[in-house]
Structure 1
Amino acid sequence: MKCDKKHMLLYAVTDRSWLGDKTLDMQVEETLRGGATCIQLREKECTKEQFLQEAYKIKELCLNYNVPFIINDNVEIGIKCGADGIHVGQSDMEASDVRKLIGEDMILGVSVQTVEQAVKAEKDGADYLGVGTVFTTSTKPDADFVSYDTLKAICETVSIPVVAIGGIGIDNVLDLQGTGIDGVALVSAIFASHNIELQSKELLRLSERVVKK
């Protein structure tokens, strides 16, 4: 699957913090029913085998809903499960090295915080950029803050899709209007919700207003 900016509109990043009595794949299907346009599986605590088994289950869901399935950081798992893409941060493997490993057909996303990082990531083969954190977030309290102006400058500088991430929710997503982003990446705003499907529908509606040119 090729990277299309329409897939960036409501980009859901998984987190096990709010599972309760549900499984992760149950939560993922709820956000897919609500309109999530891309799913990233982010696992920091699982064993390799647990990560792989979860990846296979969520990949199947994404296939059913025809949305891209992205693996965070773990290139080996991404290739092994046949994910649509890999997402790496600035402290992970270099984007150019990831591109060599995954070839030209898999999607490559890269997290950036500056215009310089954005330009380099695009040059190194990134298909889209995740820019943040744009607001204060509990999931990454020590993350570098990216201002509205920097986010807008990144969008104006690169030719690949840009997704804003970090502390975004229903109450502040519209503050990103005018930046030029192609979508928002969300963690707690989706997965901490008591009704993930309805929350996703509302976030999708708001995201469409944000990206409307």
Structure 2
Amino acid sequence: MIDSTMNETNRKKIWAISASDTCAGAGLQADLKMAHALDIECGTLVSALTAQSSFGVDAVETVSVEFLQQQWQSLKKDGLPQAIKIGWFPKDEAFINWLADKLSEYKNELPDGWIVWDPVLSASQGGLVSGELSLLKQLLPLVDVITPNQQEALLLTGCTTPVAAGEALQQAGVSYVVISGGDSDADSEFVRSLCFGGSDLSEPEQSVLTNFIIQQPRLDKKVHGTGCHFASAIAAYLAQGERIYDALLLASATMSQIIQQASETPSGYLNAWAVAVDKNGLGNLPADQWPLTLPLSGPPDNSFPKVTQPLGLYGLVDNLDWLNILLELGVDTLQWRVKSLELYEQQYGDGSYARDMKTAIELCQQQNIPLYINDDWPMAIELGAYGVHLGQEDMVEANLLAISQAGLALGVSTHTEWEIARARAFKPSYIAFGPVHPPLSKKLKYPPLGYTNLSNWCSRVGQEFPLTCIGGITTENIANIKHCGMPSAAIVTDLMPDDELVKRHRHLRGFY
């Protein structure tokens, strides 16, 4: 007898509030397809029934507020969802009042729950039009993520530019605004979606870039239901516990798959198709089709030297004695990581900071070992270092053009999908992932990556850039790092000088 419980799974859940689409390209059918493709349960609240085909909408019949209330109460018996996705709803004051009341109730009962709204504003479908936007004022402060295309954003706000529309939606109370760019600049080879991150700085990457662009290659297809699928994908990734910026990026990458797999229809206007994807693989999406994140000012105009030597065993040091020991033992790459000029000179004397960095650069040059200076790019340029290593925050302040023009190599730290996408846009000399494990030398605001993420990132990002990784890497777990396909390991604690260093170094050298 087969055990009927062996395949049961406690899946995360979203609710979708929208109209039914008879041709299954958009609406609730799209929400269901997208949720199931991402292994998420999807409860539905039907706001209207439509009669439509790929040629257009023929009829709409809305559902009463009383019946919507019954749907809500029935769904609630099975527990609240991690996210609610809103699509089409009627331009009816009674419905909007009911929805605002229900969303407030949801937020009170589940403060960590997410509300994502895809504002369908087409007047031909009975949607909201600009003359009635005052009805929405009570809804907007309840929405965490709103995903209009550019036409919808301008109509919704009455603004004349997408940037002004994004700012206006935030001022109206929406936490995160994503203005998708599929309906703009059709001659461009890229789709650029504008993202406005708001004032919530609960995750460190949010303080790096509050507003940014998600850029990805444009696919020359006209597809029905992309807005529904995009918003549903965001809701599904958030329900799975993804960080907000990562959810936006992963949903954008997912859309490339959806558009490529779209179904043919008699009208020639394709139906979006939610393929079974996950964040670690996203099907067969090539590395160069993954989105980039850019500042609103556009792509950076920098180029950095290619790393020709393998990064290999990568040691991080903060004094000359330690650097000399690792040079004598043998490493492939070094980083000079002194976090405080003042503390360094208190310990080693006035003027020692610049003097010792200069000496470190010269020693590494003599042995043909690349030395990256952590953070202090002005001094690295002045002293003619091989390269600079920057964290995400440091990239905001650093003069990347000056680093590039000086011919220095650039390494960039990344901790999330969004940060990888940001780093890729700058075309650095290498990208570092971390923390793989909880770091032994310092505390970070990011959770450990684990081996699944590390393996998949190596496979994907390693097609474009040299890689290394950092975070709690020791003799005990170095074999796992190598098994993930990682070509380099950056190590602090297990390369520190003590009586066991030679033994540990020999073991680490067995892998790198």
TM-score, length-normalised on structure 2? 0.36
Q: Which residue of 2 aligns with 1:3?
A: 307
- Give, in whole Å, the separation in 2 of the partners of 1:188 and 1:82: 28
Query: Which residue does the alignment assign to 2:396?
Result: 94
Distance 1:80 1:201 in 2: 36
Other-structure match for 1:82: 384
Deviation at 1:164, TM superposition (A): 1.2
**SS across alignment from 1:177:** helix
The Cα shift of 1:120 comes to: 2.1
- Out of 13, 24, 41, the residue aligned to residue 336 of structure 2 is 41
- In the alignment, structure 1 segments of 5+ residues that lack a partner are 16-23, 208-213
SS of residue paired to 1:92? helix
**What letter is aligned with 2:325?**
E
Contact persistence 2:482–2:511 (CA under 8 A):
no
Residue pairs, 1:36-185, within 5 angstroms: 36-47=331-342, 49-94=351-396, 98-103=399-404, 105-144=407-446, 145-158=448-461, 159-185=464-490
Which AA in structure 1 matches 2:329? G
Could you list the per-position Cα deviations for residues 16-53 of structure 1 after superposition, in whole angstroms to 9, with x for gaps in the alignment? xxxxxxxx322212111222111100111224843211
Seen in structure 2, the aligned counterparts of structure 1 residues 199 and 34 have a Cα distance that, compared at 3 Å, is farther
1:143-202 deviation per Cα after TM superposition (whole angstroms, max 9, x unaligned)? 422121222222222211111101111111111133221100011110143354553333
- CA displacement at 1:132 relative to structure 2: 0.8
Kindly indicate whether the alpha-carbon contact (under 8 Å) linking 2:475 and 2:508 is maintained by their aligned counterparts in 1: yes
After TM superposition, the structure 1 = structure 2 runs for residues 171-210 of structure 1, keeping only pairs within 5 Å, are: 171-194=476-499, 196-207=501-512
Q: Against the structure 1 CA distance between its residues 138 and 34, is the aligned structure 2 distance closer, same or farther, given a 3 Å change threshold?
A: same
SS in 2 for 1:93: helix
TM-score normalised per structure 1: 0.83
2: distance between equivalents of 1:11 and 1:201?
14
Q: Distance in 2 between matches of 1:119 and 1:142?
A: 20
Q: Using CA pairs under 8 Å that are at least 6 residues apart, name the structure with larger relative contact order, 1 or 2.
A: 1
Instruction: Decide whether aligned partners of structure 1 residues 45 and 194 sit closer, same or farther in structure 2, where only a CA change above 3 A counts.
Output: farther
Contact 2:375 2:391 in 1 (8 A): yes
What is the CA–CA distance in structure 2 between the aligned matches of 1:60 and 1:25, rounded to whole Å? 11
- Tell me the SS of whatever aligns to 2:394: coil
The 8 Å contact of residues 458 and 484 in structure 2, kept in 1 or not, is answered as yes
Give the structure with the larger helix fraction: 1
Q: CA deviation at 1:72?
A: 0.2
Residue type of the alignment partner of 1:26: D
Asked if structure 2 preserves the Cα contact closer than 8 Å seen for 1:30 and 1:197, the reply is no
Could you list the per-position Cα deviations for residues 96-130 of structure 1 after superposition, in whole angstroms to 9, with x for gaps in the alignment? Answer: x5431112521100000123322321221211111
May I ask how many residue pairs the two structures share in their alignment?
A: 197
For structure 2, which runs of at least 5 residues remain unmatched after alignment? 1-304, 346-350
The DSSP-based 3-state class of the residue aligned with 2:372 is strand
Aligned-residue CA RMSD (Å): 2.2
What is the rounded CA distance, in whole Å, between the counterparts of 1:77 and 1:199 in structure 2?
33
